[in-house]
Structure formats: structure tokens, C-alpha cells
Structure 1
Amino acid sequence: MAGTVVFDLDGTLADTSGDLIAAANACFTDRGLGRLLDPVADALIAFHGGRAMLRAGYARIGADTLLPPGAEDEDYPRLLDHYGARIAVHTRLYPGTEAALDRLAEAGHLLAVCTNKPEALAEILLRELGIRDRFAAMIGADTLPVRKPDPRPYAAAVEAAGGEVAHSFLVGDTETDRKTAAAAGVKVALVAFGPEGEALTRLAPEAMLKHFDDLPALAQDWLGA
């Protein structure tokens, strides 16, 4: 049967850091704190989630500036609202993404997304980027009661796409993806062009992808034609 290739979204299919940082900065600006995060220097923080960005920003305010109790819980839904309103202003697919998806599909592979981005936002972003119809399934952070690195969202993505976990692998960009693949008992290819780059070799993935051009051959090797 056809093999299944499962993709993370942020930092794997697309560089979303600019719009994520902008949403966090909008929250800080709403509180009169200014733009506390830099879209370039702080890009890696963006891929650790909205709350991580908020905490990083709060840590940079002066000692004489007091935040109200529960500021993070107040700002997190606001961050999601800001992000949802401007979700694809700066976001771009990584080079070769669409061509790789086309070649995988032509080879008969099933494609799915498993992300820790809230499902509704992931659906919107994939549509904005023009690639939602390439994927037979999409599992977000809140689709199930658990999220990555729990293996259940990964298994759900594979099965919803019509595949089998034993005949699948994950493409990702973080330690979370490495742990997810290990928990699911599948191989993982981590992208060297994402936010952490070649530093991900420390996680000893089964493969490092320098460019999406290399993915179809890897899929043929791991899953067969």
C-alpha cells in the first residue's frame, strides 16, 4: 500500500516566525510595553509557541514595570486573535515545498500534517499558503486531548490519510518532532533549513534534509516507490 509522509507545519513547511512574533508584539504594544521581540533574532522563540513568546517578552521589561497577575493567561487568547487576523503577511513556504509535495503525490504517497498549532489556525494558514488540498489529513494541537510528542496525534494523522503508521515517517524541525517519531516507532527527517538548522544533528535523526528537493528520494528509500 502507499506510504504516508507526515509533516509538521511551523518551521518545517513554512517559516511562520515573522507573523508569530508580530502577534506577540501586538500584545506587548497593547500593554504599552512596545515591541519586545525581534522578528529575526527571536525567530527560534516563535517556534516554541505563543506562551513561550509572551514569557520571553515579559522577561525583558524593566523591573519597575509590573504586570498584573495572570497576564500570560489574558494575553494568550489575544495573541491568537492577533495572529489569526494577520496569519500570512510575512509567512512563506520554504523553497521547494510545493514541488516536493507534487513529486511525493505522483509517487503514490499519502500526505498529512501533524502540528502543535491550533487546528483552526493551521487550517487557515494552509489554505492561505495554497497547499491545504495537498494533504489528506490535518491534525492540530487541539484536535485530540493530547498533542505531540504524544504519538496519538501522529497516528491519527496517518490513519485519517488512509495509511498505516508502520509504513510512514515524519518530517519536522524540533526536538518535539524527534520525540514524537520515537514514541510512534517511525523514522524522522529533520530539516536543516528550519529555525535550528544543522544544530538538530545533536538529536540523531535518521535523516537531515538540506533542501526539500531531497525529500522524494528519501521517501522512495524509506517507503518504496
Structure 2
Amino acid sequence: MTDRDLEGWTIVFDLDGTLVDSAPDLTGTLNRLLVEEGLPPVPMEAASTLIGSGARALLVHGFEAAGASVERAQSDELFERFLVDYTAHIADGSQPFEGVVETLERLSERGAILVVATNKRSDLSELLLEKLGLTRHFAAIVGPDRVSARKPAGAHLKEAVVKGGGDPERAIMVGDAAPDAEAARDAGMPCILTTFGYTPVPVETLGGDVLIDAFEEVEEAIDGVLSDFYVMRALKF
């Protein structure tokens, strides 16, 4: 019988670059739009560092990388075309990172509440997770449209935890980029960062409490964070 030692704790996951390698489909949509606009496509290895702040930011970064007008990238018409194309191709090449399903199952068995806090729009996040068979693991899937402020604001994480039925005072963030680390700091949550995600700056500079090189290391990292938490609490008495 599994020890439910994570009862009362919420683990908050970023989506793109943390749970799911979604770069192939995000980049595919970006590049189809660039080509339609008469611009050169962005190489996959370059595009993966542009992901993390939502579709509008991805368009701006992509058009900048192609040497095109930022004003054009910010147009509502282009954004709507992006959404239509991405929705049609959202899970063509995207896949959960290795070890995601097994790790989520173990965390749930140990009593943890699992939620997603992402800067991807909620309906798109739900569609992606549903197509990948991951929806069942999460008590809440929370994009910026369902909270008062988006990452890097800590309110995004706190409100996501509450929507999942958890306590923000007993929550841990797992992400891959600056918005995740900054939101965790703002929310007063410990932060575990992946080294395999999407960040334009070295992940080592983001101030995460723990860095992991593979998703299979999430559980051990959580155990380490909780060990420190209980030691510090004991020292206060």
C-alpha cells in the first residue's frame, strides 16, 4: 500500500517545456504563418527558446527572429490565424516528456493534488492535454484567462492551487523558465526547474531551488524540498 505522505500538498506544473514537448507544433504553426507572410521559417532549435509566454509573445519573437515587423506580429488578425492553425495541429508532434505519466500517477497515489498553471490559453491547454491522455491527472488546468494575473505574477499559481482544492501555503512549482521561477518567488513557493525546457537564458540563472535533468527526477526533488520544509518548521519550535 502506497504511503499517502503528500496528502495536503499541491504540485503546480507548467505545461510547455515541463510536462509536454510542444515545440514541434508551436513551431510548425509559427513557421507556416511566417511562410505565408513571405518570411523565412525559424529553425526548430531556435524556436524552442521563444516559447513560454503565450502565443502572442511567440509571434512577436518569431517575427523578430525572421527580421520582420513587430507591429505586424501583434495584429489580431495574425493572432486569430495562429489559433486556428495551432488548434488544428496541436498534437501532431507534441508528446509528454519521458516519465511524465508514471511520475504523475505516483504523485497522485501519494495523495498530492496536481494542477497546471500555464500561460497557454485554458481551452488550448485542455485540448492538448486531452489529446495526449493527460487530463485525468489534474484537479485544475488554469491558463491566464482563468486568473487575475498571469505568470510571472504569483497570483496565477495561488489561484490555480485554490481552483484545484489545495492550499497555496503547501504548494510546489515545477517549471522550466523565468515566468515559472518568478511566479514561484512571488507566491512564496519552492520551485523545481527542468533543464530540458524552453528558456532563452541559462536555467541555472533563474534561481530555482532544485534543477532536474529528467522528469523522472521530479519525485525525488519534491521529497528534498519537503524534507527541508519540515526541518525548518521543526527548528521554529
Residues 71/190 of structure 1: CA separation in 2 closer, same or farther (3 Å cut): closer
C-alpha distance in 1 between matches for 2:199 and 2:61: 18
Residues 61/103 of structure 1: CA separation in 2 closer, same or farther (3 Å cut): closer
Aligned residue for 2:44, secondary structure, equals coil
Cα deviation 1:188-211 (Å, max 9, x = unaligned): 000012234992111221100122
CA contact (8 A) 1:28 1:34 kept: yes
Structure 1 gaps, min length 5? none
TM-score with structure 1 setting the length: 0.88
Name whichever of 52-61 and 182-191 sits farther off: 52-61
Residues 202/68 of structure 1: CA separation in 2 closer, same or farther (3 Å cut): closer
Q: Please identify runs of 4+ aligned residues in structure 1 that moved more than 4 A.
A: 60-63, 67-71
Residues 61/44 of structure 1: CA separation in 2 closer, same or farther (3 Å cut): closer
Cα deviation 1:110-157 (Å, max 9, x = unaligned): 100000000110000010111111001111021124211112221111
Alignment correspondent of 1:211: 214
Matched, 1:76 2:82: no
C-alpha distance in 1 between matches for 2:201 and 2:117: 22
- 1:6 deviates by 0.4
Cα deviation 1:159-207 (Å, max 9, x = unaligned): 1222111111100000111110011001000001223499211122110
Q: Matched residue pairs, number?
A: 221
Percent identity reads 32
C-alpha distance in 2 between matches for 1:5 and 1:207: 14
CA contact (8 A) 1:5 1:110 kept: yes
CA contact (8 A) 2:115 2:138 kept: yes
CA contact (8 A) 2:156 2:183 kept: no
Residues 58/201 of structure 1: CA separation in 2 closer, same or farther (3 Å cut): closer
Alignment correspondent of 1:149: 152
C-alpha distance in 2 between matches for 1:207 and 1:60: 31
Q: RMSD of aligned C-alpha atoms?
A: 2.4
Name whichever of 175-184 and 45-54 sits farther off: 45-54
CA contact (8 A) 2:51 2:58 kept: yes
